Amino acid sequence: MYCVARKRGEKGALQALGYGDNADIKIENAYTTPENAKMGGRVQVSFELVNQANKTVAIMVDLAIHFIKVIGKANPSVFELKLLN
């Protein structure tokens, strides 16, 4: 139950897992290569997270990739990247 709700970013599920507070995090130096992926190809994603707060915070880093289905509709898949405490 929490897995699906967590992947949707539902506040209650995140709070139950200890990630409910708003973190003052800034994303820097974000890029993807190549910009346009080919079917079956590889994509590299890179970024830096910078804590802007004066305290240590726990964060959960997920990546949502929107795949285009045959009918042309985008459908997101969420991948857990890292849990930082």
Q: What is the dihedral of CA 62, 10, 74, 81, to 10 degrees?
A: 10
Question: What is residue 19's predicted lDDT score, i.e. its pLDDT?
Answer: 76
Question: What is residue 77's predicted lDDT score, i.e. its pLDDT?
Answer: 87
Distance of alpha carbon 67 from the chain centroid:
15
- Gap between the Cα atoms of 18 and 12, Å rounded: 10
- Gap between the Cα atoms of 30 and 48, Å rounded: 7
- Gap between the Cα atoms of 51 and 14, Å rounded: 19
Question: What is residue 80's predicted lDDT score, i.e. its pLDDT?
Answer: 85
Question: What is residue 20's predicted lDDT score, i.e. its pLDDT?
Answer: 66
Which stretch of DSSP H or E encloses residue 31? Answer: strand 25-33
Question: What is residue 44's predicted lDDT score, i.e. its pLDDT?
Answer: 94
The segments of the chain whose pLDDT lies below 50 read: 1
